[in-house]
């Protein structure tokens, strides 16, 4: 069953899965997306998993995002921190409402950046994260205990938005905090390729 609700503070869709062995997915869209953007991807890469997909509450023009930015690649870090805690609180409420274990975040672009921020600020909110085209969310990152937490980082070698050095820096940061990081750089741009989906499917089947 799919439903859109706003009474938790986030407009979101929850889709109950049929496979209780699968960890639920927290789907986090990119700039301009909404709560339905990644549902088909979630069903494809993790068949039978429950899907929880909120809409970002910040508008850039008419484009929903999860936090403000000052320019391309320059984040409003005060807003990012506040929105990250707001999103983590939503996850806690949604887990209680729907009877879910901690989810694995699957975030794309802006959604991947807020997922990385969740790992650093509220690591208990997630069982792991797949970060698709992410960059480091903080100039001076907080310390976090990510011991053994699985993280998949998929970056594009031709990505005009996220430089390769940023992806490598994020992978190194999360690994230094104890996460079990798998980082793959693909011959792709900022958009997702079939190789991304194949790697994501395989990773989700193992975590």
Q: Helix, strand or coil for residue 204?
A: helix
Say whether 183 is catalytic: no
Tens of pLDDT along 40-80? 999 999 999 999 999 999 999 999 999 999 888 789 999 99
Asked whether the predicted pLDDT for residue 85 surpasses 80, the reply is yes
pLDDT of 2: 64
> Contact, 172 vs 183, CB < 8 A?
no
Q: How far apart are the first and last CA of the chain?
A: 25
Decide: pTM greater than 0.85.
Answer: yes
Helix ranges (H only) for the chain are 39-45, 77-98, 110-121, 164-176, 194-206
Active-site position among 183, 185, 190, 193: 190
Mean predicted lDDT score pLDDT of the chain: 95
Tens of pLDDT along 160-204? 999 999 999 999 999 999 999 999 999 999 999 999 999 999 999
Paired tokens of 112: 């991947």
Assign 3-class secondary structure to 56-81.
CCEEECCEEECCCEEECCEECHHHHH
Asked whether the predicted pLDDT for residue 122 surpasses 70, the reply is yes
Active-site position among 117, 155, 159, 196: 159
Query: 86, 71, 162, 154: which is closest to 117 by C-alpha?
Result: 86
Which structural domains are found in the chain, ordered by start?
A: 2-206 (3.40.50.1820)
Query: 197, 178, 170: which is closest to 186 by C-alpha?
Result: 197
Say whether 190 is catalytic: yes
Residue with tokens 């997306």: 33
In angstroms, rounded to a whole number, what is the distance separating the alpha carbons of residues 26 and 139?
25
pLDDT of 13: 97
> Contact, 64 vs 56, CB < 8 A?
yes
In the Cβ-directed half-sphere of 29, how many Cα atoms lie within 13 Å?
23
Say whether 159 is catalytic: yes
Please give the helix or strand (H or E) that residue 182 lies within, else none: strand 180-186
Active-site position among 109, 117, 155, 167: 109
> Contact, 45 vs 201, CB < 8 A?
yes
In angstroms, rounded to a whole number, what is the distance separating the alpha carbons of residues 150 and 183?
11
Query: 55, 46, 34, 68: which is closest to 200 by C-alpha?
Result: 46
């Amino acid at each position: 069953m799919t439903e859109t609700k706003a009474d938790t503070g986030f407009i979101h869709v929850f889709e109950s899965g049929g496979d209780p062995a699968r960890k639920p997915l927290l789907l986090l869209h990119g700039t301009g997306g909404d709560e339905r953007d990644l549902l088909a991807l979630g069903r494809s890469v993790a068949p039978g998993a429950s899907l929880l997909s909120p809409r970002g509450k910040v508008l850039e023009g008419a484009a929903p995002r999860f936090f403000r930015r000052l320019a391309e690649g320059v984040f409003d870090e005060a807003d990012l921190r506040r929105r990250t805690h707001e999103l983590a609180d939503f996850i806690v409420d949604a887990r209680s409402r729907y009877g879910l274990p901690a989810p694995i975040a699957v975030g794309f672009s802006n959604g991947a950046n807020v997922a990385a921020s969740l790992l650093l600020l509220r690591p208990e909110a997630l069982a792991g994260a797949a970060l698709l085209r992410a960059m480091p969310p903080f100039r001076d990152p907080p310390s976090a205990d990510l011991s053994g937490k699985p993280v998949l980082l998929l970056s594009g070698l031709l990505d005009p938005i996220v430089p390769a050095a940023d992806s490598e820096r994020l992978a190194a940061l999360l690994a230094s905090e104890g996460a079990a990081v798998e980082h793959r750089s693909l011959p792709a741009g900022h958009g997702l390729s079939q190789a991304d989906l194949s790697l994501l499917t395989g990773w989700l089947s193992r975590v």
